[in-house]
Homo-oligomer: A and B are copies of this chain.
């Protein structure tokens, strides 16, 4: 399941719903991304997440489908917020449930790495020095590339 929303989400409720009544699930791995108060450029007071409505949903659905095709998952979830967020606020929740813990871990890790380089979101940080768009990091491409398979086309 994927969702793109302005509002916060309830991590416990989302995770409980994901495995409810499914007794084939042995492991549920989840990851929550939060707004930090420090950026490389200094203290941040808030950030605004812009996204591309339509393409965002499509990109997240593609990433989830890819995870489902690679690992034996019983359930998966991507929720990503947009709009204005403050330090400590939740940005994103990804989760994967599987009979075995390894598959749950790998799929969850894949979801957040892929999302980071493929989902059309952009962060504008408010620092003491004014608002600045966050630059993409090479390390994020490296993290996503680790999940690339030999038969994937280069981009």
Q: Which residues of A contact B (CB under 8 A)?
A: 10-13, 15-16, 19-38, 87-88, 99, 101-102, 104-105, 108-109, 112, 143
Please indicate which of the listed interface residues A15, A23, A35, A102 has the most CB atoms of chain B within 10 Å of its own CB: A23
**Copies of the chain in the assembly:** 2
Q: Could you jot down 22 A-B contacts, CB within 8 Å?
A: A11-B11, A11-B12, A11-B16, A12-B13, A12-B15, A15-B32, A19-B34, A20-B88, A23-B37, A26-B33, A26-B35, A26-B36, A27-B31, A27-B34, A28-B31, A28-B32, A29-B31, A29-B108, A30-B32, A31-B101, A31-B105, A101-B112
Contacts of A33 in B (CB 8 A): 26-27, 101
Q: Which chain B residues lie closer than 8 Å to A21 at the CB level?
A: 88
Cβ distance A48 to chain B, nearest Cβ, rounded Å: 17
Complex Cα distance A27/B105, Å? 15
Interface contact B19-A11, CB-CB below 8 Å: no
Residues from chain B with a CB closer than 8 A to the CB of A105 are 31, 105, 108-109
> When chains A and B are docked, how far (Å) is the Cα of A92 from the Cα of B105?
15
